[in-house]
Structures are given as structure tokens and as C-alpha cells.
Chain A
């Protein structure tokens, strides 16, 4: 038995070999991947066939293929809710908040990583503490309310300008840049600002990439905060827009499926182009960090 286990694991972890056992295991691997893939593709498939049916047909036969596929649901969903605006909102919130966060945290992380001033360690500790603090949902609400930023774009973006985990990842990565570089630049007469922006920033690109991806995904996916803070439909990101659409059209699944697909499409296209960067960004800082 251990012999088989050895062989099994050996072939899996030891790289390729040209033997028959390797081929058998490849078949097993494909089987495993295939079964998993079914559970990723079938929901998508179900979404597609549902969206192509009229409601009456769907009610009679939810799981069957559409008899007369039509794009009517898509046209209707387009009319009923302002999806382009939702997409734009999501993109706007994500891009703006991520950029501001990255720029501001670069300038926080660097002096802390280099321990340039008294108290820099205290500030680092304060960030580490935040890793375990629960979402401060309620006082944040009172804060935004009292600042008069309720139901406004800046108010919503404000909530995403912080990310303690991201900060710590960047700090750790900066520590791997040799201090001699600082000294050399200072000797050359470079200013602090220019040094950080033009030399440090490109060097810590993997960490920045990781943090950017994590942060952006977090903002993009958020559905509770819009429920609390954004009541004007013009300001909805797609997450809120979809939930509201589903709430309004109840169990009209063909319509909902069409709406979901419409919103998935731009995301999918974007993902196809950016996936290499997204995935390598996600892993770069996490694996070596």
C-alpha cells in the first residue's frame, strides 16, 4: 500500500516521467479536474440557458434547454435597471480608492520600514493590532453620518482608503531593499520624494501588485457597505444593483440570469486581458513575502 502511495505521490511531486504509471495518473488528474470543472461550468451554463427562456417556459421547465432561445430578457433587463452606470460606479470606486490607498500607504510604509523617526515602531504596532479588530461598522456609520458624507461618492470611497494587511505586506517588502540604496541616492543628492517615487516604488512592485489586487477585489465585491451608505440608485455599484434587481423581480429567474450575465461579461473580458497580472500580482508578494 505504501508502495502505491509512494508511486502516486512520487509521480505527482517528482515532475514528469515517461512511464505508463505517469500516463495513468494523468488520466486520474484529468478526471479530477473534469469533475471539479463541471461544478464551475454548470452553474454558468444554467445561468445562460435560463436567461434565454421566457418566464412562462421557465416556470414549466426550469432545467431544460430553451425551445426558442431569445435575447428578450437581456433587452428587458437593460431597460429595467441602469447597469452601465452600476459598472461605471464600481470601476470608479475601485480605481479611485485603490490608487489613493496605494499612494498614501507607500509614504507611510517607507519611513516605518526604515525606522526613520521616533515612534515609527509604535505606529507599526498600531497597524498590526488592526489585523484582528472587527469591522467597525457602527462607529464608522456615525462618523460618516456626522461628516455629512452619507449617500455621497466621497463618503463611500473614504471607507476603503485603509487596509492594514496591505500596509504590513508593503512594509515587510520594503525591508528587503538594502539600505545602501538609500545612502547612495542621498549621496547623489536625490530628494526624498523623488527617491521614493522613482526608485523604491518600482522595486517593490510585486508587493504593490499583491496589495492592489487584494484591495481592489475587496472593494469590487463589497455588498453590505453600499446597502448602508448608498441609497441613491445612481450611486449603486454592481453588487448592490444586482441585489436590488433581484429583490424587485423576485423569482423572475430568466430576467435575473440575464442581468447577472450582462454584468459578468465586462468583468470576464477584463479578466481575460488582465489575468496574468492579477494572478502574478496576487502571488508575488504573498509567496515570497
Chain B
């Protein structure tokens, strides 16, 4: 009797599974018709359409997107926007590529490591390297060509050319630049300690000493997430090598080496930065948590990207801060540039069944009024010439924007066969206590060896 009951139960479960299978395959995305953007053309019985959108986790961004989606749905009756949020990093890269391959998404926010638009394009002097992810996606036909769409022209030429074009066609709209080569400065604390904002490396070193002597901390950042450590040092890199594109080419051709001259200078200063200037215990802080920590007021500098500005303003609106380039060079004139990268872009899946709707969605994102709100919310440096920087951050960095430079990350491609230590721009995060290195020259030699191993092997 018991076994009969058991077989009945198992048959029931199989039946349930089959039924749910049938239910699952009838997802409402199957409708081929799209809802029109202009209300006058909407059919009387509006068909139910779901537009699926994938974005990466970033609280100011996702808050803005939720409002934007609500507005879009209101303007397009019958349309539901299904937005998935995935944490940036490895899982996000996986999600983007699996979902595009499975034709499971219509609009994606292309923010795959290093989240720098169409970065890592293969230059003529680079041989034997793998194609970057975005190029693979385009060549597989998984991304829609939007060259002729009117909304593309809302963006400035540099961003279209440098971050969204491949072989003469446009495949994305890039909605923001970031700068990461600067640091937040706690004006109140500096005034208390009696130190001026440092403009050279030596001034920074002595400022740090004075601050620590007064019982405060010099710098903090989100060490738990790993990347903030070396991103904090990007300003250092940019100050020593203002021509970042040239740096990449030099490393490839062998004219520049990490273990001699200015390359070694960077590594040595990275060590001072990582081991002496950062406060102990940064490995316990996530990057948002670090900002909250910084807002507590007893840390002088926070070398990180401008994207933390909205977080900081929300955490401590009374906090008196400014943002200056990281003074990595001994020469004040070299420390005036802001480096950065293009950040997130929007793309449409190549074979989406809702092409017109997806384009309408992007057009709405690119609409100057919406874009202004986007920039205000997220703190990105705008890529539309009509947008203005209204925030406190905007005022701090506005004078520097004219000399904005694209950073190392945008250009660097590792040669195949290079060892794990080949990317010298990340050296700051390799010193103890974050990793195993304690001697700058030894690390520099290892970096160069790992790089040359790749360059030599084809």
C-alpha cells in the first residue's frame, strides 16, 4: 500500500513539473508585435508586451532606472519593463553573455569588466590577443547596429567614436564618463590640522604624516572589494605617465618597462600609497561602506572615483569636501589632469523580437531631459554636450574637464600567455597586507617578467 501511495505521489509530482513546464514556455515575451511609442498609433486593444532589461547593481543607477521604467510604462500602455539587477563583476559578465546567447534579454547595460565602453580594442601593435568581449558579441550578431538611429546623435562625438563604434558602425550609446584619478578631500579636517591641499607627491607624503600625527587617518577606501585599491592608484599612474595611450604602446613595444625608470617609480609610490597612506583595516570595508566611513569625518582623503559623490552627499550633506587630482608626480604641473574611462553603455540585443520598442526605450534614455536627470542622479560626467553638471562634484571638477584624458584601463590588453602579475596598473593591490608582495623592486621585476612572457610567446 505504501509503495502505491509513493508511486501516485511521484506521478503527481511529474505531472506538476510538466504543467509548470508548459506554463513556463508560454512567457509573455512571445508576442511579435510592438507597442508604438506615439500614443496616437496605439492599437485599441494594446497587446501585452514585456521588455526585458539587464542592469548592473549600483544604487543611484537602479533608483533612477526604476523611476524611468515607471515613466516609460506610463507613456506606453501595455508595456511592462522587466528589469533584472545583477551585481557587477564576474556574475554580471556571465549574465550578459548567457542571456544574449539565450535570446533572453532585449536591452542590456554593457558594464562588463572593466566597464569601460568598447575598451581594449586591438591596436596594430598588438599581436595574438583575444578579441574583447564586446567585439565577440558584435561579430556573433548578438548586438544590434544602431548607427542610423536619431538618438545616437544626442551624444558627443568623442564618446560615440571612442566607446561605441566598431568598424565604422555604432552599436551602443555610452551614457557617462567617470573620473577615478582624483581623491576626495576633507576640507574641515585639513583646516583643523593646518595642512593645505597637496599638489605634489612630496606634499602629499608630508600631509599624511601631519594628519596621522594629529590622531586622524590619512586615507580610506573600499579594500574589501579589491579593485578600489588599484583604482585609487590610477591617479598616481596618470600623474607619472600623462600619455596613457603611449604608455600602453610603450609597454607592448618594450620601450617602457615596469622595473626601470618611471615605471619603477610608479610601483614604488604604489607601495607607499598602499601600505603607509591607507588606514589599517580597509580590507573590511566595501566601497560604499568606505564612503560612509569617510563621511564620519576623521579621514582626510578618499582616492576613488567620482561615482561616490552622490553616495557621499547623501550620507553626509553637511560634509565640506572637494575633489582634486591625485598628486602622484613630484611636478605640480603634471598633477592637473583628470583621468577616467567611459563607463556604462546601453545596447540592444541583435535578435530581439521587440526591436522598435527597444529603440524607443533607448531613445527615451537618450532624451536630453531624461539624460540630465540621469546625470544628476548617478554622478557620471556627461557624454551629451547639452547636459550640465549641477552637483557639488560638478562644480569641483568643471575646470578640469577640458583636459580630461582617457585612462590606461581603456587601452590595455594583456598579451596572451602573460602571467597573472602582468598588469602593472594594479600593483597597489598586490602589496601586503592585500597580497603577498613586500618589496617594490621585486614586484616590479615580476610584473615585467610576466608581461614579457606574454610578449615573447605567440
Contact = CB atoms under 8 A, between A and B. Distances in A.
| Direct interface between A and B, CB < 8 A | yes
Given A151-B104, A152-B21, A154-B21, A248 B13 contact: no
Given A151-B104, A152-B24, A231 B99 contact: yes
Given A198-B3, A248-B85, A250-B286, A100 B13 contact: yes
A126 interface: no
Contact of B94 (A150, A153, A228): A228
B3 A201 contact: yes
Looking at chain B's contact residues, the main secondary structure is helix
A96 B13 contact: yes
B320 interface: no
Interface in A214-267: 227-229, 231-233, 244, 247-248, 250-252
A197 interface: yes
A191 interface: no
A133 B87 CA distance: 32
Given A100-B10, A100-B14, 20 more contacts: A96-B16, A99-B14, A150-B102, A151-B104, A152-B24, A153-B17, A153-B20, A153-B24, A154-B17, A157-B17, A201-B6, A202-B3, A229-B98, A231-B95, A231-B104, A244-B87, A247-B87, A248-B87, A251-B284, A251-B288
B123 interface: no
Contact of B101 (A102, A145, A252): A145
Looking at chain A's contact residues, the main secondary structure is helix
B285 A231 contact: no
A95 interface: yes
A232 B13 contact: no
Interface in B86-130: 86-87, 91, 94-95, 98-99, 101-102, 104
A12 to B, nearest CB: 41
Contact of B289 (A96, A99, A154, A250): A250
A74 B6 CA distance: 38
5 contacts: A99-B14, A154-B21, A232-B84, A250-B289, A251-B285
Contacts, number: 85
Contacts of B104: 150-151, 231
Contacts of B14: 99-100
Nearest to B17: A96
A99 B16 CA distance: 12
Interface residues of A, number: 32
B388 to A, nearest CB: 31
Nearest to A245: B87
Contacts of A229: 98
Nearest to B7: A197
Interface residues of B, number: 40
Contacts of A232: 84
B84 A154 contact: no
Contacts of A96: 13, 16-17
B57 interface: yes
A244 B57 CA distance: 10
A248 B85 CA distance: 9
A154 B24 contact: yes
A148 interface: yes
B91 A103 contact: no
A142 B99 CA distance: 12
Interface of A: 59, 95-96, 99-100, 102-103, 141, 145, 148, 150-154, 157, 197-198, 201-202, 227-229, 231-233, 244, 247-248, 250-252
A258 B419 CA distance: 41
Contacts of B20: 153-154
Given A151-B102, A251-B285, A59 B91 contact: no
A251 B25 contact: no
A251 B3 contact: no
B2 A248 contact: no
A252 B285 CA distance: 10
Contacts of A141: 98
A251 B102 contact: no
A202 B3 CA distance: 8
A251 B104 CA distance: 31
A254 B246 CA distance: 47
Interface in B309-358: none
Interface in B186-244: 224-225
B389 interface: no
A100 B224 contact: no
Nearest to A232: B84
A197 B24 CA distance: 32
Nearest 4 pairs of A and B residues by beta carbon? A247-B87, A251-B286, A150-B102, A154-B21
Given A99-B9, A198-B4, A231-B98, A251 B24 contact: no
Contact of B3 (A95, A100, A102, A197): A197
A151 B82 CA distance: 14
B289 A251 contact: yes
A45 B6 CA distance: 40
B284 to A, nearest CB: 7
A95 B9 CA distance: 11
A34 B287 CA distance: 39
Contacts of B24: 152-154
Contacts of B98: 141, 150, 228-229, 231
A239 to B, nearest CB: 13
B273 to A, nearest CB: 22
Contact of A59 (B57, B85, B102, B289): B289
A103 B10 contact: yes
B98 to A, nearest CB: 6
A59 B99 contact: no
A145 B288 CA distance: 36
Contacts of B224: 251
B13 A95 contact: yes
Contacts of B9: 99
A5 B6 CA distance: 52
A253 to B, nearest CB: 10
Nearest to B18: A154
Contacts of A99: 9-10, 13-14
Nearest to B23: A153
A197 B2 CA distance: 10
B292 A59 contact: yes
A247 B21 contact: no
